[in-house]
Amino acid sequence: MGPLSPGRLSRRNLLAATALGTAATTLPLSTGLLTPAVAATPQSILENLINLRFGMFLHFNMGTFTDEEWATPRQNPTRFAPSAVNCGQWADAAVSAKMRYGVLTAKHHDGFCLWPTAHTSYNVMNSSYRQDIVAQYVNAFRARGLRVGLYYSIWDRSYDVQAYDTHHSVPADQFIVPGDITFILNQLRELLTNYGPIDILFTDGWTWQMGQQDVPYQQIRNLVRSLQPDCVMIDIGGLTQPLIGDAIFFEEPLGIRAPAGNTYAALQGQTISNGWFWHPSTPVDNPMSLSSILDHLADLEPKYTSFILNCPPNRNGVLDTNIVNRLAEVGRAWNPNPNRPPLPPQPLRAEYPVTPVNAYATSFRAGEGPLNAIDGHHNVWYQSCWSTYGGPALPQSITVDLGGVWSNVSTLEYLPKQLSRGSGNNGDITSYTILTSTDGVTFTQATSGSWAGDVNYKVAEWSPRNVGFVRLQINAATGGYANVSELRIGGRTAIPTLVSRLPITSGSYRIAARHSGGTVDVSGVGTADGTNIHQWQWAGANNQRWTFESTGDGYFEVRGVHSGKLMEVAGLSRDDNGNVALWADANVPQQHWAITPVGGGYYLFTNRLSGKALTVAGGSTANGANINQLTYSGLPQQQWQLIPS
């Protein structure tokens, strides 16, 4: 969750101040998000979610004891020191308010874990309260008929699961490595295996920190679906459209509220006190007023949005009396409306996504290249887009490389530009053609159609098939140019399974530039870390031969035969003209390359860290011309032939 300020908190009082009358009936309390007699479908799961109406958010973690909204990482775990933890009291207070579920911060952005995870020592078993709080919480809430949710921050500032991010002061030497993804998957496996049915999983610090490509949405979602198929995934990312999870989270303290007429399944979060976490002023401050809470419930119920009210436990592990009393007042004054119409049909989704490794386009505006359309990166204050604004006339296209051929691919989700929108000229796609390919060269039309030219989420479908590459051709758009905030591709009714990767054999290759025929060569037959890589005419030497090793997730390491070392972008450069050099294998993203066919037997090499393309500097044809990285623009010095050697 974002940091709060009194100014932001005051927004909770902007809704009307009229209290609700007490309804005569209450909704029956279900035994789960789905009753056993109902088949689990995306629609029915979301219907049951929003029928929970009202829930309790529980921010209880290291920040409770440090008076911080975002606790400083790597503190002494003994600072977490509740005298006791009474999850039964939390649950009783929730029941008294007619809440029907809870969500507990199992791990916040500082990385301290409320369960005895095996994957970091920064957890409750090394604190001053050596008990499994997640277990206590789920047992107490279930014992009172309440549904249980968990909040898990992908961003972990103690384990250093984070990527370079100027918005949140994360330095340039930070990036996601494969071990980070394994760490996340292992911790989620613990939470989703050891604590029974988990009805809701909140993730945070993902879309708005490193994005859902760096930490692949496909891997996280597949794990959750395999362990908890009825669990609703909600990522906190500032979006008001259903793209980054199953349901939307409107974070009210940041000014994000369910709009009038909303029909998307959603939760809206607000805090009863001044902060998400407990602070010394919490027990003496006046909590959110009864009338304001009732107004929220009245406003959100017809918008198919559950109100999740944060109630932070104190340093004694209980809710303060002023909060308990306010919740009891709510329960005496409010009942859910049993006559609300059923949830309208929800948009079709790529329920089983495939995380791409690369994208290229026929045109783009400087700084708004095609990789922005697949980075899964968004927040309330900023967005990334692929845009053709100011470029050639439509039609234009973007081609997405899925990092292999996958079965059962049938669906494309499109999110138009969300922020800084003008009037009718935002580049919203209104006419499209979608083509697919298994080799990246020969494309077949899968579908075509039209979309409304507006801000709303869009979807296109075709018959399930094997797909390695998807090309979205924009035929028409508002303003005469295209804007794509995000694309998501996958299967809707069946899980895509990997059919094949790029057909590169186990032998060695010469990598020859299209414009010159010159070969990628290690300067001076060097073997030291940092040895420069440049262009040289083919001489059959081992410093000109390379092997390709799959990373297992769509990328390749490119290894020099003579040295056994890898081709990498030097110095963690993310800039145009960043140098390319030799370095020992460290299994890091600057050593990983997406290798994408572009036709004619040539390939584009895109670095995983920087998103830049392997390029002969200046298009030189001379021996010794430097090889560096540059934003891909389809130049022949950026296209490479792989010749068995």
Q: Is 589 a member of any domain?
A: yes
The answer on 525 and 421 residing in a single domain is no
pLDDT for 9 beyond 50: no
Mean pLDDT over residues 7-32, rounded? 29
Q: Residue 158 is which amino acid?
A: S
* Confidence at residue 4, expressed as pLDDT on a 0 to 100 scale: 38
Domain end: 500, 517, 548, which one? 500
Domain end: 478, 500, 522, which one? 500
The answer on 490 and 591 residing in a single domain is no
248-261 pLDDT per residue, tens: 999 999 999 999 99
* Confidence at residue 302, expressed as pLDDT on a 0 to 100 scale: 98
Q: Residue 69 is which amino acid?
A: E
- Counting the structural domains of the chain, the total is 3
43-63 pLDDT per residue, tens: 999 999 999 999 999 999 999
- Dist. CA 425–CA 428, nearest whole Å: 8
Number of helices followed by number of strands (H, E) in the chain? 10, 30
Mean pLDDT over residues 451-459, rounded? 97
The answer on 586 and 532 residing in a single domain is yes
- Both tokens assigned to 641: 């032939």
591-616 pLDDT per residue, tens: 999 999 999 999 999 999 999 999 99
Per-residue pLDDT band for 437 (boundaries 50, 70, 90) equals very high
At 557, which helix (H) or strand (E)?
strand 556-560
Higher pLDDT, 39 or 536: 536
Mean pLDDT over residues 15-19, rounded? 26
* Confidence at residue 505, expressed as pLDDT on a 0 to 100 scale: 79
- Dist. CA 213–CA 73, nearest whole Å: 24
* Confidence at residue 462, expressed as pLDDT on a 0 to 100 scale: 98
The answer on 538 and 453 residing in a single domain is no
pLDDT for 625 beyond 60: yes
Rg of the chain on CA atoms, in Å? 26
Q: Is 340 a member of any domain?
A: no
- Both tokens assigned to 507: 């032998």
Domain that holds residue 143: 6-333
The answer on 196 and 150 residing in a single domain is yes
- Dist. CA 189–CA 219, nearest whole Å: 12
This model's pTM is above 0.75: yes
480-533 pLDDT per residue, tens: 999 999 999 999 999 999 999 988 878 999 999 999 999 999 999 999 999 999
* Confidence at residue 1, expressed as pLDDT on a 0 to 100 scale: 58
Q: Is 345 a member of any domain?
A: no
* Confidence at residue 31, expressed as pLDDT on a 0 to 100 scale: 32
The answer on 199 and 314 residing in a single domain is yes
Per-residue pLDDT band for 75 (boundaries 50, 70, 90) equals very high
CATH number at residue 639: 2.80.10.50
Q: Is 346 a member of any domain?
A: no
Q: Is 343 a member of any domain?
A: no
Reduced 3-state DSSP string for 364-407:
CECCECHHHHCCCCECCCCECCEECCCCCCCCEEEEEEEEEEEE
pLDDT for 26 beyond 70: no
* Confidence at residue 380, expressed as pLDDT on a 0 to 100 scale: 87
- Dist. CA 381–CA 106, nearest whole Å: 26
Q: Is 344 a member of any domain?
A: no
Domain end: 500, 533, 554, which one? 500
Per-residue pLDDT band for 389 (boundaries 50, 70, 90) equals very high
pLDDT for 230 beyond 80: yes
* Confidence at residue 38, expressed as pLDDT on a 0 to 100 scale: 43
CATH number at residue 371: 2.60.120.260
162-199 pLDDT per residue, tens: 999 999 999 999 999 999 999 999 999 999 999 999 99
* Confidence at residue 17, expressed as pLDDT on a 0 to 100 scale: 27
The answer on 236 and 172 residing in a single domain is yes
291-313 pLDDT per residue, tens: 999 999 999 999 999 999 999 99
The answer on 392 and 279 residing in a single domain is no
- Both tokens assigned to 129: 């309260």
**Cα dihedral 385, 391, 394, 398 in deg (nearest 10):** -40
pLDDT for 7 beyond 70: no
* Confidence at residue 22, expressed as pLDDT on a 0 to 100 scale: 28
pLDDT for 15 beyond 80: no
- Dist. CA 161–CA 35, nearest whole Å: 37
Contact status, residue 443 vs residue 468, Cβ threshold 8 Å: no
Residue 208 has φ and ψ, to the nearest 5°, of -95, 0
207-221 pLDDT per residue, tens: 999 999 999 999 999
Higher pLDDT, 611 or 381: 611
Mean pLDDT over residues 357-372, rounded? 98
Q: Is 451 a member of any domain?
A: yes
The answer on 76 and 150 residing in a single domain is yes
Task: Tell me the sheet residues that pair with 593.
Answer: 556, 607
- Residue 488, Cβ density class (10 Å: 0-12 exposed, 13-18 middle, ≥19 buried): buried
Contact status, residue 533 vs residue 513, Cβ threshold 8 Å: no
Q: Is 71 a member of any domain?
A: yes
Mean pLDDT over residues 352-379, rounded? 97
| 475: CB partners within 8 A, 6+ apart | 394, 395, 431, 432, 433
The answer on 406 and 518 residing in a single domain is no
Per-residue pLDDT band for 423 (boundaries 50, 70, 90) equals confident
- Both tokens assigned to 180: 């980070």
Per-residue pLDDT band for 35 (boundaries 50, 70, 90) equals very low
Residue 67 has φ and ψ, to the nearest 5°, of 60, 40
- Both tokens assigned to 306: 């559950």
- Dist. CA 257–CA 203, nearest whole Å: 19
Distances (CA, A) of 195 to 57, 99, 199, 505: 18, 21, 11, 45
Tokens 């979301």 -> residue = 46
The answer on 513 and 495 residing in a single domain is no
Task: Tell me the sheet residues that pair with 512.
Answer: 519, 641
Mean of pLDDT over the chain: 93
- Dist. CA 204–CA 249, nearest whole Å: 11
| 249: CB partners within 8 A, 6+ apart | 202, 234, 235, 236, 237, 266, 267, 268, 269
The answer on 185 and 70 residing in a single domain is yes
